[in-house]
Structure 1
């Protein structure tokens, strides 16, 4: 099985496979590559609909160049609290971001959510996120606006600064937002039944859709409440003698 980075020709073949509607596993088989390689390549470069082989290749070359010629860093930037391995944390953050993207979240929203989730405080300012992700404050603000609609992030004012916060109930709030959204689709579907006729094919389809989504919405909400009650735990306070690494 070939190793190393994907070539430009391989990326073009991935693009052709996506255009033909092939599954990641089939594209991987044709290239003799692991399916995870194809999944990671596509999700980090716009997803199936937005993948562009030549753009993905240029991006990969730029990323490789930055790794070979890293910009000078303040040695303190890599210091982590609790004796964590800074390199391992960065690698895990990238993995977490990739998985969020594979679940359907856009790239920047996934990066912001991963950064916030991995911070011990669960909150970062716009400037801190911008510096950490090496993107513009505008990109951060746009990502946060999307995450707010999913009940995953909230904003707080600190004088003239904005701080973005995720709560311990992050997943619960997100699931409940999903349940409400699903219930709204069900209600809208049911509104169309009398309009199209309950005894018509279209009316029956809408009624079946509404029933299904009602059941799913109620199940999500019930499971979310049960899970929070049974599984949610609070992190233990760190011992007083243990100190974080210098800022």
Structure 2
């Protein structure tokens, strides 16, 4: 978040605006504004300059290593992420954007957790543990992601369980799947127009809409093929 945005938040609070309205004006998720204000004095004590300085210092500051406690848990403790709060904010922003685009929130959480992992791989058990949700919730979410091309399912022969994977090609496949679905809608509209008759206003409207969708989606698929090399 920039210093200018923080000054706009302060001005919004002073003007009695809600978090949602401030977020709308900044083009940010409401949760980001709420978290920013809560961490920095609350609605009555928010100071933009101070908030900016504190956040900058937090990003630069290293977390001292904790005394070794033994075992894997102790080793993990010594590797705590000094930028955890910033990473969490990035996660939340991407999740909110995905939800606003129509993705179910639980699915968005699973999607972002996969995206932000170094190797783009998680088992169902790992997702359940990391997100603190039920295995059933994870199952529904990953089925949605696989169905829409955002992820793929692999079988680990050694562990005998599925691994869910997001790689660079996932972006390409998700566009293809979405485009094919839209083409089906376009074709249905054109067929309906022929049934109604092109001499009727409804038939003309459906024909124009179906043709428009066809041309736009075909252009998108050609563009995806043309730029696919950027993913490799």
TM range (shorter): 0.5 to 0.7
Task: Give the structure with higher Rg (CA).
Answer: 2
Q: Work out whether residues 196 and 203 of structure 2, in 8 Å CA contact, stay in contact via their aligned partners in 1.
A: yes
> What 5-or-longer segments of structure 1 have no aligned partner?
12-23, 44-73, 234-247
Report what 1:186 is aligned to.
186
- 2:168 is the alignment partner of 1:171: no
Between the aligned partners of 1:150 and 1:109, the Cα distance in structure 2 is 11
- How many residues align? The count is 178
Q: Which has the higher contact order (CA 8 A, sep 6+)?
A: 1
Residues 126-145 of structure 1 correspond to what in structure 2 (within 5 A)? 126-145=124-143
TM-score (norm 2): 0.66
Report what 2:118 is aligned to.
120
Residues 34-113 of structure 1 correspond to what in structure 2 (within 5 A)? 34-35=23-24, 40-41=29-30, 76=76, 79=79, 85-113=83-111
1:195 positional shift: 1.3
Between the aligned partners of 1:162 and 1:95, the Cα distance in structure 2 is 28
> What 5-or-longer segments of structure 2 have no aligned partner?
1-10, 33-72
Closer/same/farther in 2, CA of residues 87 and 39 from structure 1, 3 Å limit: closer
More deviation, 170-179/85-94: 85-94
Report what 2:231 is aligned to.
232
RMSD: 3.0
TM-score (norm 1): 0.63
